[in-house]
Amino acid sequence: MREKPAVIIGAGPAGLAAGYEFVCRGRFPVILERASTVGGISRTESYRDFLFDIGGHRFFTRNEEIRQLWEDMLGGDFLTVDRLSRIYYRGKLFNYPLRPVNALRNLGPLESLRVVLSYCRAGLFPKPREDNFEEWVVNRFGERLYKTFFKTYTEKVWGIPCHEIGADWAAQRIKGLSLLVAVSNALFGGQQAKSLIEQFSYPRLGPGMMWQRFRERIEAAGGEVRLQSEVSALHHHDSNIKAVEYTTAAGVQNLCGDSYISSMPLPGLVRLFKPRAPADVLAAAGRLAFRSFIIVVLVIDREELFPDQWLYIHSPKVKVGRVQNFKNWSRFMVPEPGRTSIGLEYFCNEHDATWELSDESLVELATREMEEMGFGPASLVSDSHVVRESHAYPVYDAGYRENLETVRRYLDRFVNLQTVGRNGMHRYNNMDHAMQTGILAARNFSGETHDIWTVNEEKSYLEEARAAEETPAIQEKILERAFARMDKFAFAVAVGAVCGILVISATLWIISRGGDVLNSHLRLLAQYFIGYTVTVRGGFIAFAYTFFWGFLFGWLFAYLRNLFLAIYLYRIKRKAEMLSLKDFFDNY
């Protein structure tokens, strides 16, 4: 008789990674997925043979295990794509990350001057605290640049003012930077920046191809993936989940397992418990918010529109937040030559005014805004399709931490249940982070002990932190010594003393030789050092003069060295921060 299965709720990246880890360890998983396909928000949608990625998923990771797993799944179907994403603002395209020449040329001389002045002001008089997204960006780029390039887009995505975005979210998505590692990357080079900026990997037929391959491997090893199976209850007793109840076309089914992993949104999960969860837990779960989005796909009768994979739309004149060009992810996403498909993404809340628009109204809106932005006339649109995605992004609002903690305390009571993934942990994780939580959860049920809540916590996933792990200790010691501040007073005393000793030593040496050979030359010092003679008394006078000028020279040299070094380190850190901010926007 077969052992009780490991029951997994959700066939997104986290759930599938957990299922695959189970079959690799000889366990039997059953994955329940309410949708008709696998992949969750990372799935590939299809409409009349046009494929599209509803969220825009670049495959890159610093986790070697995850990278190897991806390669193993797809092999030659895993393409390497040259990355290009730009910002659309005031009818012009700005390089991303921002490049000064391009940005200043597009902004014009007057606005450029305002940006530069605002940037200088931020550097001289930074905000004393950095508790939210607005303060972090303003301190690094100035208020003018923040309002131009960051405020509008961020508020489109989250639907709340930037100063109300929780500090935890800002800390997770725009983490602190190691200056030492930034300098190390500048001097010794770093591989991670190239993978993020210039290239990324992508499945030939979109991200869903990856998750379909996971499903095939799981089922080939004896596991099951049951689609269109929506969980309707979790029965529990004595701190154990006893069974899940789920609904299919055939009716209500029950499934008993020995371990349970869930990647479904926490509010929905908590409402499924039977007996019911306490009222305070239900209330806290209900206050956990999510941001949704709608993608309107337009099929365009034109070979090319723009070369980017997607554009960030920072213009406040249109509602659209991003525009994807699916052919530029993979040419296999568009089945017909001479045509292009683009996806216009509208961020919203479930059941708000945008969400409730009819498909026809959304297509009309997207077509009009495409034309307003200059991507082509509406007459080129030959077909369209609309997809709505709820619970896309966990929102880190002001009270989310307390609410999440209340829910976590309740869930921790159940010894055979773990929650994973973006929605299952209410954490804004990337695909590889979500997969890692699923893998570690499966390992926990196989006798290991891992704290999955530490995945992507603080600096664990930063480019800089990863580089720090790879930088040999000898390089760190060299950098610490080479870039240490020079003590101006000590260096000045040393230079003054050396100069003084050299002059008095030369004077005493000539005196000891009788003063006949070089006397006529050395006494020329009297033209600069009043009172100097080639005598013992004159030697001490010269010592005083040369010590003074040597001290002055040494102090000035140390001061300028520290100043230029500070400027150099400041530029390196700014560049690292720009890359960190770029990573942040890339993973919305």
User: For position 315, which CATH number holds?
Assistant: 3.90.660.20
Residue 146 has pLDDT above 90, yes or no: no
Residues 278 and 317 in one domain: no
- SS3 assignment, position 155: helix
Q: Specify burial of residue 249 (Cβ count, 10 A radius: 0-12, 13-18, 19+).
A: exposed
Q: Calculate mean pLDDT across residues 572-583.
A: 60
Residues 413 and 552 in one domain: no
Q: How confident is the model at residue 22 (pLDDT cuts 50, 70, 90)?
A: very high
User: Is the model more confident about 42 or about 475?
Assistant: 42
Neighbours of 292 (CB within 10 A): 20
Q: What is the count of structural domains for the chain? A: 4
User: What pLDDT score does 510 carry?
Assistant: 79
- Within-domain flag for 137: yes
Containing domain of residue 326, as a range?
Answer: 290-394
- Within-domain flag for 16: yes
User: What pLDDT score does 164 carry?
Assistant: 81
Residues 274 and 406 in one domain: yes
Q: Distance from first CA to last CA of the chain, Å, rounded?
A: 46
| Amino acid, res. 15 | G
Residues 568 and 500 in one domain: yes
Rounded Cα–Cα distance for residues 176 and 190 (Å): 18
Residues 105 and 248 in one domain: no
Residue 264 has pLDDT above 70, yes or no: yes
User: What pLDDT score does 584 carry?
Assistant: 54
Residues 536 and 559 in one domain: yes
User: What pLDDT score does 67 carry?
Assistant: 94
- Within-domain flag for 494: yes
Residues 272 and 367 in one domain: no
Residue 525 has pLDDT above 60, yes or no: yes
pTM: 0.76
- Within-domain flag for 526: yes
| Range from 196-200, 220-224, 476-480 carrying the lowest mean pLDDT | 476-480
Residues 435 and 531 in one domain: no
Residue 328 has pLDDT above 70, yes or no: yes
Q: Calculate mean pLDDT across residues 212-221.
A: 97
* Among candidate residues 549, 511, 509, the one with its CA nearest the CA of residue 528: 549
User: What pLDDT score does 196 carry?
Assistant: 41
User: What pLDDT score does 483 carry?
Assistant: 59
- Within-domain flag for 336: yes
Residues 341 and 294 in one domain: yes
- Within-domain flag for 456: no
- Within-domain flag for 111: yes
> Domain boundary at 190, 225, 248, which?
190
Residues 249 and 319 in one domain: no
Residues 118 and 132 in one domain: yes
> Domain boundary at 378, 394, 410, which?
394
User: What pLDDT score does 8 carry?
Assistant: 98
Residues 281 and 311 in one domain: no
Q: How confident is the model at residue 576 (pLDDT cuts 50, 70, 90)?
A: low
- Within-domain flag for 443: yes
Q: What is the CATH number of the domain that holds 252?
A: 3.50.50.60
| Range from 445-454, 459-468, 535-544 carrying the lowest mean pLDDT | 459-468
Spatial CB neighbours of 170, under 8 Å, sequence gap ≥ 6: 130, 131, 132, 133, 136
> Domain boundary at 166, 190, 214, which?
190
| Range from 173-177, 280-284, 453-457, 560-564 carrying the lowest mean pLDDT | 173-177
